[in-house]
Amino acid sequence: MTAEEVRSDPGAQDISMEGTDISPKGDQGVLKEIKQEGSGEAPMIGDKVSVHYTGWLLDGTKFDSSRDRKDKFTFDLGKGQVIKAWDIAVATMKVGEICRITCKPEYAYGASGSPPKIPPNAVLIFEIEFFDFQGEDLSTEEDGGIIRRIRVKGEGYSKPNEGAVVEVWLQGSHNGHVFDERDVRFEVGEGEGLGIPSGVETALQQMEKGEEAVLYLKPKYGFGSAGYEPYQIPPNADLQYEIKLRSFEKAKESWEMNSDEKLEQGALVKERGTQYFKAGRYRQAIIQYKKIIQWLEHESGLSEEEATKSKSLLLAASLNLAACYLKVNEHRPALDHCNKALEFDANNEKGLFRRAESYMGVNELELAKDDLVKVIQLYPGNKAARAHLTHCQQRIREQHQREKKIYANMFQRLAEKEEKESAKVIKEPPAGDVEMSDGKEETQQSEAPGSAASEV
């Protein structure tokens, strides 16, 4: 029976409490009847689901319908965005399924109801049609690169942070082939050295203790364009991971450390970042250098000596972050960190040179040239800057030539168009045009047999 049939059914005035009990407590709180079977798998916690629904009171009074609004309703499953009965029922549905659920007040709006349409202690009936679902996107750029689906919800609200020591079980697969399965304990930010891709570490920072999840990683958040030979993962491979976060110990947050601790830890992570950089592990180096920025960027009340150390660490972190981002061809963040470094030292050789490289990466060639000229003026022995300047000037010339050709072609097309339009006007003068420049056309028209002029 469809929602339309229910609305027009006189028997809807006396709807009985029927269906299978799907309430977690087995207390008959949510009863479900399947009206149309669906197919595929059921959604998981955190999935964004799309449904149509109609709701009635027990006496058959309709109080709400997405169908009447002709707009499907979407929500994040298991996140408390809807009444309990919905989170319970929709988690059991499959795509294409239509079901009717009957829910007791404690699984709906309780003793208070939802005035004016839903009275206190109301038993509610819903017909729900389930259309589709999609996992939760955890990527910072929201590009669909890290999709999480939660099999088992975790405990509490605390989550690992960067530097936290985590104990996890994981299973990685590609095209249905399991390439990695193990229990492992590591520090978040150190996973790359253990063959754990960055997308897994990003996801772990959004997980709760005891949570079990499925991750779908695009190549950017997996093993990238290089692949991973130890696991025989080819370049640009999509990956799937099953993850269980068994336990974790959070790293100290910035507000939990005093100035001495921040400076001491800053020096340590700077050295660790440099080791990663030298080993070509740029993503891990980025994580280390970012910690320095996080800890010290807004630190106040420092002594003169502490302020000098802080400035030195921040300058080094910004320069090194720029170098890391240049290595992974991400020129915009490299540019941002160059600018931060130059706020500390406006004539810094590395800062100016790396900013020029960043500008060249985003095709801001004139700005790159200005920085390179400044480097050569301040540091005449910088051969790399001279070589880059030559290359930059060549690119500028090529760009000007391309632009000149584009404009020349554009003007040529405009000239040809104007010439055609002018020829058309001369060949076919407008009817009734009597304004002659010298009278010749008028004479010719009057002498033409059968012309409009001769008829007049």
**Catalytic residue ranges:** 53, 63-64, 83, 109, 126
Residue with tokens 């110990």: 249
Q: Which residues pair with 169 in a beta bridge?
A: 183, 244
Q: Which helix (H) or strand (E) holds 452?
A: helix 452-455
Cis peptide before 116 (omega within 30 of 0): yes
The answer to whether 100 and 32 are in contact (CB under 8 A) is yes
Residue with tokens 């390179």: 372
Task: Report the alpha-carbon angle 402-407-408, nearest 5.
Answer: 95
Residue from 38, 31, 27, 29 nearest 100 by CA: 31
| Alpha-carbon span 219 to 366, nearest angstrom | 34
- Tell me the longest C-alpha to C-alpha distance in the chain: 107
In terms of DSSP bridges, do strands 136-137 and 124-134 run parallel, antiparallel, or are they unpaired?
A: unpaired
| Alpha-carbon span 18 to 38, nearest angstrom | 20
Both tokens of residue 270?
A: 């700077």
| Alpha-carbon span 120 to 44, nearest angstrom | 31
Cβ within 8 Å of residue 260, ≥6 positions away: 306
Both tokens of residue 325?
A: 């981002």
Note the Cα 247 to chain centre separation in Å: 28
Say how many CA atoms lie within 13 Å of 443 toward its Cβ.
Answer: 4
